[in-house]
Amino acid sequence: EVRLVESGGGLVQPGRSLRLSCTASGITFNTQWMHWVRQPPGKGLVWVSRINGDASETRYADAVKGRFTISRDNAKSTVYLQMNSLTVDDTALYYCASPRFGGYFDYWGQGILVTVSS
Amino acid sequence: EIVMTQSPDTLSVSPGERATLSCRASESISSKLAWYQQKPGQAPRLLIYGASTRATGIPTRFSGSGSGTEFTLTISSLQSEDSAVYYCQHYNHWLWTFGQGTKVEIK
C-alpha cells in the first residue's frame, strides 16, 4: 500500500518561513517524481512544484517561484517544501502527490494545513 | 499557461440518472487529461487518465471522453456516494493546471 504523509504545517506570520515534509512508503521513492499541490480554503486545486527522482530537475508555479524550494532526501523517502516570505495568499491545504507513470496523480497524501496570518 | 474551464459549476442530478460534466482547455492538450473526485475532508482521488482510461478500482459507471480541447466525464447512473467535487487536470505541459471544479449534488 502506498502512503504519503505530510507534516510541518501550522500557523505562521506573514513574511516568515515554514518547511513541509512528505514521507513516502510503498513506492520505489528514488525513481518517483514528487509534487506539491495546494488548495486554498473552499477553493480548487493548484499545482505548486515538482521534483524528479534524482533531484536534478525542479519546477515551480509562478506564484511561488523564488520563494519556495522543493528538495528531497531519497535515503529518508522524504520530499520537502521550504516556503519563505509567506503571504496570506499562501494559506492552503498542501498535498504531496505522485504519479505512477504520467503527469496525473495516482497517489495523494492526506494534506497539511498552512495558515499565514498575523 | 493552459487554462482549464469546467462547466457547470454545480450539477444537481437524481439518483440513477446520468451526470455529464464538461472540461475545456484553452489550447489543445491531445488526450493528456485526468479527472479527479474529491469528497469533503478527503484528498482527491484519480478517476480517469488519458482522457478515457479508468484508474484502478474505479467503477464502470464513470467514463471519460474527448480530445484536443473538449472533454467530458460521464457518470452513467448516479449513486449517492458520487456526491463530490470533480476536477479536470491537464498534463500536456509541465505547468499542470486544474479546472475550477464541478460540484455534483444528489437531487
pLDDT for B39-91, tens place per residue? 999 999 999 999 999 999 999 999 999 999 999 999 999 999 999 999 999 99
Give me the residue label for grid cell 498534463: B91
Name chain A contacts of B50, Cβ cutoff 8 Å.
Answer: 102
Residue-wise pLDDT tens digits, A109-118: 999 999 999 9
Per-residue pLDDT band for A3 (boundaries 50, 70, 90) equals very high
Q: Which residues contact B92 (CB under 8 A, 6 or more apart)?
A: A103, B2, B25, B28, B29, B30, B32
Residues 21-50 of B with CB under 8 A from A: 32, 34, 36, 38, 43-46, 49-50
Confidence grade of residue B94 (pLDDT, cut at 50, 70, 90) = confident
**CB neighbour list of residue B97: distance below 8 Å, 6 or more residues apart:** A47, B1, B2, B3, B4, B89, B90
Q: Which amino acid is at A113?
A: L
Q: What is the pLDDT of residues B4-48, one digit of tens each?
A: 999 999 999 999 999 999 999 999 999 999 999 999 999 999 999
* Span A6-23, pLDDT tens digits: 999 999 999 999 999 999
Give the C-alpha separation, B65 to B5, whole Å. Answer: 16
Say how many CA atoms lie within 13 Å of A81 toward its Cβ. Answer: 31
B-chain CB neighbours of A106 within 8 Å are 46, 55
